Amino acid sequence: MGGERFNPSSSAYPTHSFGPNPSFPKIHNLDIDHLRAFTANGGQFEDCNLPAMMYDFRSDDEKYIQLEVWSAPFVGVGRERESRPSFDEAMKRAEWRNARKGERFGPSWSTHWFRITLRNLDQILPHPAADQHLELHFDCEGEGAVYTPEGLMLQGLTGGGGGDRRVEFILPEAWWSSSSSPTSTERIIYIEAAMNGMFGVPCGDQISPPDPNRYFELRTADIVVPNMTAWRLFWDYTIIADCARELGGWEGEKALGVATKILGAFRRGERGCLEECRDVARVFLGRRVDGAEVYRGEGGEGESLVFGIGHCHIDTAWLWPFAETRRKIARSWSTQIDLIKRYPEHRFTASSAQQYAWLKEDHSTPGGLYHHLRETIHSGAFTPIGGTWVECDTNMPSGESLCRQFLLGQRFFEREFGIRCRVFWLPDTFGYSSQLPQLCRLSGMKYFFTQKLSWNNINKFVYTSFNWVGIDGSQILCHMTPSETYNAQAHVGDLIRSVTQHKNKGEDPSSLLVFGNGDGGGGPLAQMLEKLRRCRGVSDTVGRLPRVSMGGSVDQFYERLEERTEEGKTLPNWVGELYFELHRGTYTSQAKTKKGNRLSEFLMRDVEFFASLATIYDAKYEYPKKEIDECWQMICLCQFHDVLPGSAIEMVFDDAATFHAQIWDRGQRMLASAFKVLGISSHPSKHTALAGVSTVAWPRTEVVEVEEKLAAGVDKSVVFEQQGGKKYVVLSTESTGVSRVEKKEVQQKGITKEVTVEEVEKGIFVLENGVIRVRVENGHVTSLYDVELDREIVAKNGKAGRYVIYDDQPLYWDAWDVEVYHLTGPRTYLDECTTTIVGEGPLRASLLVESKISEHSWIKTTISLDAVLSGADYAHKTTFEKALPMLNFDVEVEWQESRKFLKVEFPTDILCDTASYETQFGINKRPTHFNTSWDAAKFEVVCHKWADLSEHGYGLSILNDSKYGFATHGSTMRLSLLRSPKAPDAHADMGRHHFRYAMLPHRGNISQAAVVRAGYNFNNPLRLRYVPVQDEKFDGLRDLLKSIWIEGADNVVLDTIKRAEDGADVVIAAGHRPTTSSGTKTKSIVVRLYEAYGGKTKVKVMTTLPVVRATEVNILEDELSVVDHKRGRKDHVTSVAVDFTMGAFEVKTLKLELSW
């Protein structure tokens, strides 16, 4: 039919299947499992597979290595620095003895210095191949660092068997190569060995409290020659096997086939097969994966979607104390500096100015580690990031504290390295305040990075890249890495998730891959960089795997993202706080640390106010800038995101208590020094009179209790003495002013209505002052009644001020979490109590309520109501006619409970679907209902000095002096008081606590009732001090203290008055060298203010100081614009007015230059 004639022998395909190698169908799970054994370290088949060929030589023979040790005396907890001697101290004190492998060292947290003598190294590799070298492998199960005899730290070490293991130190070629003509046959290195692991010394589970008596074994101290071909094959195969498991499709099948061929080409013990195996691997990886040139390849299709950046998250304190963090920093960063030299594509970033400052303190000798760090930073390979003093919590620090985080951080980086950070970097903080976008922009940053919201346990956050808009309207460009970790291990899966988990790829699909061991430090390992090279090779050779790019900075990633999204215009917006749906217990855990924070913030506010005015009053007075900065540094340090939230070990909170005590002592000394200059004293004399001193920028009239240290010497004609010997005065002060205490008969005229208390029935008490009437039954407030308006505030049959104890057992994170199910679980109300009258008026009426919690725990609550005063806020009919007197609760608790949660609740007769909570420089509104899962997730939220529930025309605010956790469910408000978790601190919150809170009823809304001012007053009580009797001196003091004020604009708060950073005298006082920008003929005052209620307003800042120039500056005190100022004269007083407009919740900083 026209075709070729059939020839049965023309095909090679066999007629019968009788081959020697049978063919089986693919059994995928068996094939995949088979791949694991080839690179498995340990196990019964290790000697049959690749790990058996990783080293050509290993010896611990004394011919090559000799070990000696000096164990530093361990002085115990609380004296950590003494237990961690520096290199120089160790060399002076060391008494060396022989050491051996297998020896155990301890206890936990102790330090042991090893002197290692290396000899005859040139005999190990007399004729080395091009890529051969010698390594020292040292594993003491804990952390360590390698030092030269001159004291230069070369590299960190991490022992044990985890993924952060790093026990190898590459010996310099000059030490072992005969061609390098070594000058000595012996070399000495030192290793500082810390008896703690990367995550401390937990007793069992990672977050368990530390085991104080753990001992560590010296497992390895060997000289090793690695087989570099085997080492590279290990990472070739690792990535190919990863692709077989992760990629799927034909690419995954191809990876499986290549990996299987490698297994077939491998012959145990035959070195020549290793290169054959690598040739097989190159089919899948390409031929450039042994160097940085792989990133410059032309192969593959498409652009890079994943941008790798090396990172080392070091918790400034967590499962280890601050003192150990200082060593973690040096160990981690020295290692990265070494890696940067070996891997040209490696770019590394690290945050927290405090950590750089510690490294400077500990390693700043000429040619030391800090010197090498500066060189690496200037090369661009090591980048400081974040711009803050530490990676702080952002829920609880005050607005001014956040400003100081940025000010201290950015100025340190600029002073030390000549740079400012542009990316706010908080990968591990537990939620993000709604004012951060504004504060970032005012600190020179417009980019923000985190990933923590990927931990949400109720709702999945909806965006990857987006514009985050704060409550004032400011925005920053935010990226949350879709790999959902800041500790990526550079696996194939990390790259895949960087694309598959990207939530808005349509706008821009690129992402950051932040890789390296973290939390406890360490950072990237060499194998991570090797794996990324191979991942790039896969992308260029086979495809499917997202292309990774290396060598760029985080700033460059954000610049690219900004450009590709038309300056963010194509990205979605998220408005308001980034609420973290986990770790809600951190608003309450470690109450003493939280109280120390609040007290320190207000103390430093007052120190700067009085010290600033003292420099104006007396030119000889030196502004204590260095000490102020040191105190703020300690405050900011204790705001680290595992310290202030209360999620660290007990040693950390012992340190925090010490820091807060130092701040208090130093702050009081600085106040006393400024007071002395200003003529204010704590001690009476014939030339002084008792007076009240206020640092808030509005008038206030209050009943003030005379402190015990003042009461003994006070003039009886000016005090009211009540039951129990307590002494009180009625005191009115002007804005940031001072007012002498008048005679009792004068004070009496200011009392509109005295307060009374009466036991109307057994166990039922009524306190009344003519404006409100309070009924207390069995220790609870059953009625809070507005007499004039005929309005009840407490819900029908409700009990306000009632303590309730919940069971508190989260799913895992003990100190961190409180879960929603605690609200529906077992609870105990403290309804058994005794109540006695301890203050009968006329100025203050008080009840003492004593409640027993358990055999070892109790609460004593003093409930107080003051007389109605004619000058109080609620009497200012023209401005704050809606305010009412508050009901105060002064609480002392002995707390010895286990996994219990103490709250106090206030059922109200108020209906509103949102409640208001003070945040930094503003207000957050949150739902009081659980309509959606997003609403329900906010069952416990953070507040600052107050929370408020208001309906039209009426409301109730709950004030506090040191608490942050709150909840409003329906019409019931609850203030969180104490928790009792047992991990990682087994004694968290145990002991005695003192705190205050108050019920502040009000007519109208929170702005009409001056709730923000009430919160400041509650946290900053009027001070009683002695001031000059002489009218001229007193008038001068009074005029100085009230020399800056706001006229009108009652919604604007003057929060901070301080000296400018760049004044010549201030710069010198700080211990820095004056710059050309440091003024020489002027003194400058910085005034920070904010709009408090959420509305645009015109503001007039008034001052009697001799202003010659007024400028608006940012938080870093860079000049933004010149502001007009007008001089005027009224009532024989010359003043200057600075007029401007402020937006809703806007923060504004003015710099007033004074003639001098």
Known catalytic residues are 428
Determine the angle formed by the axes of helices 272-285 and 249-265, rounding to 10 degrees: 170
Q: CA of 488: how far to CAs of 338, 512, 516, 1145, in Å?
A: 20, 11, 6, 38
> Residues 147-179, buried b or exposed e (16+ Cβ, 10 A)?
beeebbbbbbbbbbeeebbbbbbebeeebbbee
Helices and strands in the chain: count of H runs, count of E runs: 22, 59
The helix/strand/coil state of 565 is: coil
- Nearest-angstrom CA–CA distance, 575 and 58: 60
Output the six-digit token pair for 570: 């194509």
- Nearest-angstrom CA–CA distance, 991 and 989: 6
Question: Cβ(483)–Cβ(498) under 8 Å?
Answer: yes
What DSSP line would sit under 380-425, residue for residue? TSEEEES-SSS-B-SSSS-HHHHHHHHHHHHHHHHHHHS----EEE
Q: Is the CA virtual torsion 383, 386, 392, 393 positive or negative? A: negative
The helix/strand/coil state of 514 is: strand
- Nearest-angstrom CA–CA distance, 61 and 259: 38
- Nearest-angstrom CA–CA distance, 88 and 656: 28
Strand order in the sheet with 965-969: 827-829, 802-807, 900-907, 972-979, 965-969, 941-942
The CA angle 636-642-647, to the nearest 5 degrees, is 140
The 3-class SS string of 296-331 reads HCCCCCCCCCEEEEEECCECCCCCCCHHHHHHHHHH
> Which residues does 75 contact at the CB level (< 8 Å), separation at least 6?
82, 83
Q: Which amino acid is at 38?
A: F
Q: Which amino acid is at 633?
A: Q
Q: Which of 865, 744, 752 is CA-nearest to residue 801?
A: 865
Strand order in the sheet with 465-469: 423-425, 447-450, 475-480, 465-469, 573-575
- Nearest-angstrom CA–CA distance, 464 and 477: 11
| β-strands 511-515, 306-311 pairing | parallel
How many other C-beta atoms can be found within 10 angstroms of the C-beta atom of residue 869? 23
How many other C-beta atoms can be found within 10 angstroms of the C-beta atom of residue 1129? 8
What DSSP line would sit under 1097-1134, residue for residue? EEEEEEE-S-EEEEEEE-TT--EEEE--EEEEEETTEE
The helix/strand/coil state of 541 is: helix
How many other C-beta atoms can be found within 10 angstroms of the C-beta atom of residue 16? 5
Question: Cβ(438)–Cβ(403) under 8 Å?
Answer: no
- Nearest-angstrom CA–CA distance, 911 and 1131: 49
The 3-class SS string of 949-1008 reads EEECCEEEEEEECCCCEEEEECCEEEEEEEECCCCCCCCCCCEEEEEEEEEEEEECCCCC
- Nearest-angstrom CA–CA distance, 759 and 509: 71
> Residues 1079-1088, buried b or exposed e (16+ Cβ, 10 A)?
beebbbbbbb
